[in-house]
Copies of this chain bind each other. A is one copy, B any other.
Amino acid sequence: MSTHDNVLRVGMVGYAFMGAAHSQAWRTVNRVYDLPAQVRMALVCGRDEPKVAEAAGRLGWDGHTTDWRRLVESDEIDVVDICTPGDSHCEIALAALAAGKHVLCEKPLANTVEEARRMTAAAARAQAAGVRAMCGFNYRRVPAVALMRRLVADGRLGEIRHVRAVYLQDWIVDPQFPLVWRLQKDRAGSGALGDIGAHIIDLTQYVTGQLITGVSAITETFVKERPLPAGSSGLAAQADGNGRATGPVTVDDAAVFVARLDGGALATYEATRFATGRKNALRVEINGSLGSVVFDLERLNELEFLDATRPAAEQGFSRILVTEPEHPYLSAWWPPGHIIGYEHSFTHQMRDFVEAVATGVDPAPSFADALQVQLVLDAVTRSAERAAWTEVEPALAEVAA
């Protein structure tokens, strides 16, 4: 490991929403967990100097830069944490791995399968030199999600029959909401599908231990033209009724698909930004021959579990308040019933990442895992275009090549 005196010096690229969440986690992880290395928040990078300087001070970074290449190549950095939009993940990650830096990259891994394949290959090469790479599917680290996985892995659900997963948001229902970068294909890669659909694909595969083999999908863009954000340029093709400049939405607003998993389960998936009243409703239900589980991210401290081996007169979905010391990640936090929040999933992610790096093991999800998610996203997109059942391409052949 490239740490000095058991210190991991982190450089983070990007400082917006994800950057703030990661900063809170880097700041907290050693305060809560007893770890084999101490994190130093060394350097943060952004394109706008005054803004990144302000962010560095506010978020608690020792220094800042506007040059990500300098960050990536610095001798003062052990870990590169990539929190930028998807279109820059590949270039930064490749450079960081080439420079021998451990990499934590936000999801989705890349905007295209081709980029994800290159990143995965680079990570595989770097691994030989003891360099670690991980993709930030942080919801795996929600204690209730980890508990779901444990129940499945312990056989408590029996044979998995059904997966139903939705990720519902509503922040662009208003047609006057502006054309931000997340609505532009060249920046974001895709819309609801890649942004939040990727989460439920990863989460359900992780929990069930099964991979999606094929899909039938529909995608839709309900609002096809939106006002440009204040200060934007170069995008406008048209003007709306008020003379305000508008531009085309080039990503999906919603994606729905049915799927088969390699263990024999049927699944339904829905990712949308048009579910009025749903703010961050990642909901998953899994039915097996011996039991079922239900999870809702808006109530992330709870897990519903039905154990079908109990006497019929007593069966019911149990609302487990996942705040006990017996639950994953929680012995270090507050007493039972004192709930945690969204941001804790990042603290737990950093705990696992730091532990893996410091002890020289590969963290999960790997870039290969994230590539597999990318291949599912790709199959969804192709299925919607072809109006037909579409198999997910295998990840392994390419990686082996």
Binding site for B on A (CB under 8 A): 17, 21, 23-24, 27-28, 30-31, 58-60, 147, 161-162, 164, 166, 168-171, 173, 216-218, 220, 222, 254, 256-260, 264, 266-268, 270, 272, 274-281, 285, 287-292, 297-301, 303-308, 311-321, 323-324, 326-327, 334-344, 383, 387-389
Contacts and interface: CB of A to CB of B under 8 A. Distances in A.
A268 to B, nearest CB: 5
A58 B311 CA distance: 32
A342 B336 contact: no
B337 A216 contact: no
B278 A287 contact: yes
Given A171-B336, A339-B342, A318 B317 contact: yes
A331 to B, nearest CB: 12
Contacts of A259: 218
Given A24-B28, A164-B270, A222-B264, 14 more contacts: A161-B274, A162-B272, A171-B335, A171-B336, A216-B217, A216-B387, A254-B266, A276-B306, A278-B292, A317-B318, A338-B342, A340-B343, A341-B343, A387-B388
B161 A254 contact: yes
Question: Which 10 A-B residue pairings sit nearest by Cβ, starting from the closest?
Answer: A279-B337, A280-B337, A277-B306, A316-B318, A341-B341, A387-B389, A216-B216, A316-B320, A338-B342, A313-B326
Nearest to A294: B277
Label chain A's interface by main secondary structure: mixed
A340 B389 CA distance: 40
A394 to B, nearest CB: 19
Given A21-B334, A291-B277, A387-B216, A327 B339 contact: no
A332 to B, nearest CB: 10
A279 to B, nearest CB: 3
